[in-house]
Amino acid sequence: MGKAYKFGDHINTDLIIPARYLNVSDPQALAAHCMEDADATFAGRFKPGDVLVGGEDFGCGSSREHAPIAIRACGASCVIAASYARIFFRNSINIGLPIFACREAAEAIADGDEVEVDLQSGLIRDLTSGRAFQAEPFSPYVDKIIRSGGLMNLIRREKHE
Amino acid sequence: MGMTMSQKILAAHAGQENAKAGEFVDCALDLVMANDITAPVAIRQFAECGGDRVFDPEKVIFVPDHFVPNKDIASAAQAQCMRNFVREQGLRYYYEVGRGGIEHALLPEKGHIAPGDAIIGGDSHTCTYGALNAFSAGVGSTDIAAAMIVGKTWFRVPTAIRVELRGHKRGMVSGKDVILHLIGLIGTNGATYRSLEVGGEGLADMSMDDRFTFANMGVEAGAKNCIFEFDSVTEAYLTEHGVTRYRPTAPDPDAVYERVVRLELDRIGYTVAKPSLPSNTAPAETLRSVRIDQAVIGSCTNGRLSDLRAAAEVLRGRRAADSVRLIVIPATQRIYAEAVREGLVDVFLAAGAVVSTPTCGCCLGGHMGVLAEGEVCVSTTNRNFVGRMGHVSSQVYLASPAVAAASAVAGHIETPEGL
């Protein structure tokens, strides 16, 4: 269970982690600047287990994997958005950051709501409003990567087979 | 059922007869690319996964271009990390500072891109190479790490949007105006997960540099890739750059498109994207009240020779307004040298411009032209997101080289004819 931090549409990778901080790739160093240009107080307030909620086209822009790395290093239990840009989606799946597409939840959840997400089933509960939502299922191929614990684990496993 | 160009290339690289939209395929890769931002993360993943040797030292190419020449010790350490990996792995192609340039201008110029290729790059603008009739998509560092080990990657075969070009561009209207116009029409997620497939009789009016610029910004409409049909313009470019072996790929006549967008080139004017989305477009003529502090001409979008020629044509005999810093960044060393030889650099210097070594620096607010609080920049780069080029309150207007040059002279957004 965690608190929802809600943002709007087109949350791009420059907002998630500004390029001026890409001279390092240490996850904790990146986490300190996560969402900085959208909300300078975010990194100081966001607690492990909290949930990042966005609108349409979340993660658009750069291919920088530093964006999902920063979100994960902040301790986010997951990201919920109406839709995702494809490279951000792919990067999140690859590094094992739980990420759910659910337009209804993304619209209904209010900033500060207490949210509980079943990472296995994609069932999202807004405990503040009492509403529940079901995230879109993953394709079997993407599901295989998730269940392997990320792409590199899948590659490692296939290498040993 | 017929296939699009992207579907054909993916099928061929997956060893299949056909590839249907929505299907997942494992594709062998002709090229895996990364830069000084994305390579260090990939190298770490490669090592953690027990990666020993890259699958093919001729097919993994690293280009230091983002924070080079290094802006600080931390960025120098990242460039050093990739340089060490290049040596350890014996990568055949690595383009050091001073001998390379910006990846998406450099790799085609060095003959690394061929029609029919399947390419991934650790940079969202890897879609640029589709201009040469290749399938090319941006990915993140983990995908690069995995591909360096196994030489392949997975794709969901995309549905397609056909972009049909007709007619002729007017005046100094360029590929930049055409792609900004398209993004304004379909939106920044108008092509998400889809391929943009470009063809039509108007293709003949698009130079290779126009096509690189167009394909480069396909990702700003969310596209997985952007691919141009092969024609005599493509062929001439390949010959000039020493590419002799390639597989031109045409769409089937009965290929299925989710949507067809027809662009009448004659009707496209000078187009500018206002802050803070590339889709927030307006005719340049309507933005004359926007005063600017800086103009940038360069980047993987618009740092090629024809871009510099267009800028010089506008700037010849003129000077940037006193209130404007004009920064010109040739995209590669070869373009830089040619710009010197043709006298373009003299024009820029006489206009009061900074002429920089190739770097991505200022496009992403890294270095070499970072904006202060409240400053406004007209830039030929590809993104105008909040804080993209500097302070969170600074503003970026995206435009063509001709419009950026005219704006630098006027001190506000202006067209070449309006000077």
DSSP-assigned letters across all residues of A4-54: EEE--S---HHHHS-GGGTT---HHHHHTTTTTTT-TTHHHH--TT-EEEE
Q: What is the 3 state secondary structure string of B309-372?
A: HHHHHHHCCCCCCCCCEEEEECCEHHHHHHHHHCCHHHHHHHCCEEECCCCCHHHHCCCCCCEC
Single-letter amino acid code for the residue at B327: I
Would you state the pLDDT for residue B95? 98
Candidates A22, A66, A146: best to mutate against B (most CBs of B within 10 A) is A22
Asked if A94 and B74 come within 8 Å (Cβ–Cβ), the reply is no
CB atoms near residue B262 (< 10 Å): 11
Residues of B in contact with A23 (CB under 8 A): 67, 71-72, 74-75, 78, 366
Length of chain A in residues, anyone?
A: 161
Asked if B387 and A87 come within 8 Å (Cβ–Cβ), the reply is no
Would you state the pLDDT for residue B406? 98
Asked if B41 and A95 come within 8 Å (Cβ–Cβ), the reply is no
Would you state the pLDDT for residue B6? 98
- pLDDT tens readout for residues A85-119: 999 999 999 999 999 999 999 999 999 999 999 99
Residues of A in contact with B145 (CB under 8 A): 152
Asked if B386 and A57 come within 8 Å (Cβ–Cβ), the reply is no
C-alpha torsion sign, points B41, B42, B48, B52: negative
Is B271-410 in CATH node 3.30.499.10?
Answer: yes
Q: Report d(CA B88, CA A87) in Å as an integer.
A: 29
Encoded tokens for B287? 């933005």
Percent of chain A with pLDDT over 90: 93
Q: Report d(CA B335, CA B314) in Å as an integer.
A: 19
- Mind listing the pLDDT tens digit of every residue in chain A (161 residues)? 899 999 999 999 999 999 999 999 999 999 999 999 999 999 999 999 999 999 999 999 999 999 999 999 999 999 999 999 999 999 999 999 999 999 999 999 999 999 999 999 999 999 999 999 999 999 998 999 998 999 999 999 887 77
Q: What b/e string do you get for B179-205 counting C-beta neighbours within 10 Å, with b at 16 or more?
A: bbbbbbebbbbbbbbbbbbbbbebbeb
Asked if B154 and A155 come within 8 Å (Cβ–Cβ), the reply is no
The CA distances from residue B121 to A60, A62, B38, B194, in Å, are 16, 12, 9, 17
Residues of A in contact with B127 (CB under 8 A): none
Nearest to A155 among B41, B122, B150 (CB): B150
Single-letter amino acid code for the residue at B265: L
Q: What b/e string do you get for B284-294 counting C-beta neighbours within 10 Å, with b at 16 or more?
A: beebeebebbb
Asked if A155 and B149 come within 8 Å (Cβ–Cβ), the reply is yes
CA distance A158 to chain B (A): 10
How many inter-chain contacts (A to B, CB under 8 Å) are there?
133
Residues of A in contact with B143 (CB under 8 A): 90-91, 94, 151
Asked if A87 and B188 come within 8 Å (Cβ–Cβ), the reply is no
Nearest CA in chain B to A91: B140
Query: Cα A58–B256–B229 angle (5° rounding)?
Result: 85
Candidates A20, A21, A42, A63: best to mutate against B (most CBs of B within 10 A) is A63
Per the omega criterion (within 30 degrees of 0), is the bond before B69 cis? Answer: yes
Asked if B156 and A57 come within 8 Å (Cβ–Cβ), the reply is no
The CA distances from residue B271 to B161, B213, B246, B260, B310, in Å, are 22, 14, 35, 21, 15
Range list for CATH 3.30.499.10 in chain B: 5-264, 271-410
CB contact set of B73 (below 8 Å; sequence gap of 6+): none
Asked if B222 and A86 come within 8 Å (Cβ–Cβ), the reply is yes
Q: Report d(CA A36, CA B188) in Å as an integer.
A: 22
Complex ipTM, two decimals? 0.96
Number of domains in chain A: 1
Encoded tokens for A154? 């899948």
Q: Torsion angle, CA of B343/B349/B353/B359, rounded to 10 degrees?
A: 60
Asked if A65 and B140 come within 8 Å (Cβ–Cβ), the reply is yes
CA distance A123 to chain B (A): 25
Nearest to B388 among A14, A64, A90 (CB): A14
Instruction: Kindly give the parts of chain B with pLDDT less than 50.
Output: none
- DSSP annotation string for B367-389: SSS-B-TT-EEEESSS---TTTT
Would you state the pLDDT for residue B378? 98
Would you state the pLDDT for residue A158? 83
Asked if A94 and B143 come within 8 Å (Cβ–Cβ), the reply is yes
Asked if A22 and B222 come within 8 Å (Cβ–Cβ), the reply is no
* C-alpha A65, offset from chain centre: 12
Asked if B192 and A69 come within 8 Å (Cβ–Cβ), the reply is no
The CA distances from residue B31 to B117, B118, B239, in Å, are 8, 7, 20
Asked if B140 and A64 come within 8 Å (Cβ–Cβ), the reply is yes
- DSSP annotation string for A89-137: HHHHHHHT--EEE-HHHHHHPPTT-EEEEETTTTEEEETTTTEEEEPPP
Q: Which residues pair with B157 in a beta bridge?
A: none
Residues of B in contact with A138 (CB under 8 A): none
Is B5-264 in CATH node 3.90.550.10?
Answer: no
Q: Report d(CA B34, CA B108) in Å as an integer.
A: 15
Q: Which of B76, B112, B78, B77 is nearest to B94 (CA)?
A: B112
CA distance A84 to chain B (A): 9
Q: Report d(CA B128, CA B311) in Å as an integer.
A: 21
Q: Report d(CA A129, CA A3) in Å as an integer.
A: 13
Q: Report d(CA A79, CA A123) in Å as an integer.
A: 13
Are A24 and A70 in contact by the 8 Å Cβ rule? The answer is: no
Would you state the pLDDT for residue B337? 98
B317 φ/ψ angles, rounded to the nearest 5 degrees: 75, 5
Residues of B in contact with A85 (CB under 8 A): 189, 192, 222
Residues of B in contact with A37 (CB under 8 A): 386-387, 392
- Per the structure, the complete domain to which residue A67 belongs is given by 2-160
Using a CB–CB cutoff of 8 Å, tell me whether A159 touches chain B: yes
Q: Report d(CA B374, CA B176) in Å as an integer.
A: 26
Would you state the pLDDT for residue B188? 97
Residue in the structure block whose two tokens are 């209130």: B323
Using a CB–CB cutoff of 8 Å, tell me whether A103 touches chain B: no
Would you state the pLDDT for residue B81? 98
Within B71-177, strands assigned E span 118-122, 135-138, 152-156, 160-166
Whichever domain contains A151, its CATH number is 3.20.19.10
The CA distances from residue B344 to B106, B213, B353, B355, B411, in Å, are 20, 20, 11, 10, 21
Using a CB–CB cutoff of 8 Å, tell me whether A61 touches chain B: yes
Nearest CA in chain B to A145: B154
Would you state the pLDDT for residue A1? 85
